[in-house]
Structure 1
Amino acid sequence: MTTALQIGDVYDGHSCISVLPKEIIPFLASYNLIGQLLSQSIIESAIAPITCTQAETSHALEQFYQHWDLTSEQKIQDWCSRYCLTQEQLELFATRKLRVEKFKQITWGHQLESHFLKYKRHFDQVIYSLIRTENRETANELFFRITEGEQSFAELAREYSRGREADTGGIVGPVELGTITPNFAQLLCTRQVGIVQPPILFGESWVILRVEKFITAQFDNFMRQRLLQGNFETWFQQQVNQLSPEEKTWM
């Protein structure tokens, strides 16, 4: 008869969770919580070596107490007793988010700028105007009207374009070049800003383009956090891929 739940090696050869008592296994299974437990235990094993300074721990505890409205020592003790937590466990709980951020910074912080520079073009953004039509003659006529000043790009886009851009007067973006199909991104990058381009066949549609603006990506704090999170999510998926088939089913 099974007396415990053993979770296999998923991080540096160490088991995420060594043993769970048999009493808790039916509860976790019936509420479909084993997958969440696996996910959190992968992270817990990774951040186990990460420590916080006394000042960081004190600050984290202050925020924790404020969040739970633990305004007195008695309330803190009662809360810990209710959830069967020691002071050490409470500190680990309160600093968990900070330790995750430290893990990200320690693991990938040194390579963020080089990664950004390597893939900078993917992060650059573009705003452009677009008209799509399946008929070449219609496309040529619309191009003529725009260049001759008979009607504006926005007016014709609302009336004739066959995509979602019709709702915005042809305006699309800002969008990152990395999220656009490579051929179309290349097409945009070779166009001069503010110039309406003659109709070209792209896929099954004739398109009239006007690049409105290029926005250069910056290696700022927002970008650093984004890259850190992206690396973290990739790493996490790699850890999940190392789980046993049965454990993956719970995920």
Structure 2
Amino acid sequence: MPQSITITNEDILRCVKLYCEIPTLNKKIITRKVIENTANEVGVKVDTEELQQAADKFRFMNKLNSAEDTWTWLKKHNLSLEDFEEFIRIDLLSNKLLQHLFLDKIEPYFFEYQLDYVGVVMYEVVLEDEELAIELFYAIKEGEMSFYDIAHQYIQDTELRRKCGYRGIVHRKDMKPEISAAVFAAKSPQFLKPVVTSDGVHLILIEEIIQPQLDETLRQKISSDLFSEWINEESAKFEIINDLEDHCLTNNTETYLLSK
């Protein structure tokens, strides 16, 4: 028979502090307060029907197909039914507030920054040795090796090696300047000369340059980016005061931890 163990609120708080998760939780708490306060100010609300629809959608997406499944999930996460309702309400309120604040700003933002959303389908191998990278570059150019060979020999990450360094669609704004300058000056398909950055020496194979289109996926990404930026700006206006017990070092017998 398995042994039982009781986990208290104090245990959870202690664990959160010991694993240095207070800053992460602070950010989430402030985000919720910013959303609540702003929604109240601009009159964004969630009604009962919207809440029910959002709860049904959440249960469907998480395969909580019965009341029993839902209760099991709530118990696993130590949530009451009221907690679950509040969880759904905040998420729904966040989405409604996003639409209220930024729906009419998406198109102007896209046309101003559309170059940032130009994408490239690319494969990449990052090396530490520039001379080796140059040697491998010419080996590929001269047909002595393939990019596939180099990826399988020099990529350490197992999953990335299996994909031969495939990075998917990468947007200009998500690249280091040195890489974006080289990538978007090229024509696809093309194998680039080694590019040196602070991360190492990059061997890059360009498959396709993709011009941006303001489809639903990109609309959602832009609105999400704008919302995140706004949350960060609003959160920075707050001074965080944690009303938690102070366990800082209090006597000389403990200061050896900080002596070096």
TM range (shorter): 0.5 to 0.7
Which of 47, 51, 67 is matched with 1:60 structurally?
51
Which whole-Å deviations, capped at 9, do the CAs of 1:40-72 have from their partners, x for residues lacking one?
3332121121246xxx64343366589695xxx
Q: Secondary structure at the match of 2:94?
A: helix
Counterpart amino acid of 1:115?
A: Y
Quote how far apart the aligned CAs of 1:212 are. 1.3
Q: Does 1:110 align with 2:101?
A: no
Partner in structure 2 of residue 44 of structure 1:
36
- Correspondence for 1:235 among 230, 239, 251: 230
1 CA distance for matches of 2:35 and 2:216? 24
Structure 2 CA distance, aligned partners of 1:162 and 1:93? 41
Task: Give the direction of change, closer, same or farther, for the CA distance of 1:100–1:214 in structure 2 (3 Å limit).
Answer: same
Question: Which residue matches 2:205?
Answer: 210
Distance 1:177 1:113, change over 3 A: same
Q: How far off its partner does 1:189 sit?
A: 0.7
Deviation sequence 1:153-199 (CA, Å, 0-9, x none)? 2213433x4776766435443322211111211101111212334x4
CA spacing shift, 1:224–1:196, aligned 2, 3 Å = closer
Shift of 1:231: 2.2
1:5 aligns to what? Answer: none
Distance 1:120 1:168 in 2: 29
Q: Which residue in the other structure is 1:127 paired with?
A: 121
Q: CA deviation at 1:214?
A: 1.8
Change (3 A) 1:46 1:135: closer
> Match for residue 181 of structure 2?
186
Residues 128 and 211, structure 1, Cα contact 8 Å, conserved in 2: yes
| Secondary structure class of the residue paired with 1:192 | coil
Count of residues in Structure 1 that have an aligned counterpart in Structure 2: 201
Which deviations, in whole Å up to 9, do the C-alpha atoms of 1:59-97 show, x marking residues without a partner?
Answer: 43366589695xxxxxxxxxxxx99x9xxxxx9987554
Q: What fraction of aligned residue pairs are identical, expressed as a percent?
A: 18
Q: What residue in structure 2 maps to residue 224 of structure 1?
A: 219
Q: Which segment is superposed worse, 179-188 or 115-124?
A: 115-124
Residue of structure 2 equivalent to 1:100: 94
The Cα shift of 1:38 comes to: 4.9
Q: Please tell me the residue identity of whatever aligns with 2:188.
A: V
Q: Which runs of 5+ in 1 are unaligned?
A: 1-26, 70-81, 86-90
Q: Which moved more, 1:177-186 or 1:207-216?
A: 207-216
The whole-number CA distance in structure 2 between the counterparts of 1:225 and 1:120 is: 15
Residues 10-40 of structure 1 deviation map (CA, whole Å, 9 limit, x = unaligned): xxxxxxxxxxxxxxxxx99x95899566543
> Does the Cα contact within 8 Å between 1:133 and 1:162 map onto a contact in 2?
no
Aligned equivalents of 1:196, 1:108: Cα separation in 2: 39
CA distance, structure 1, for counterparts of residue 218 and residue 244 of structure 2: 34
Question: C-alpha separation between the residues in 2 aligned to 1:206 and 1:40?
Answer: 42
Structure 2: tracts of 5 or more residues without a match: 1-8, 17-21, 60-65, 68-79, 246-260
What is the root-mean-square deviation of aligned Cα atoms in Å? 4.4
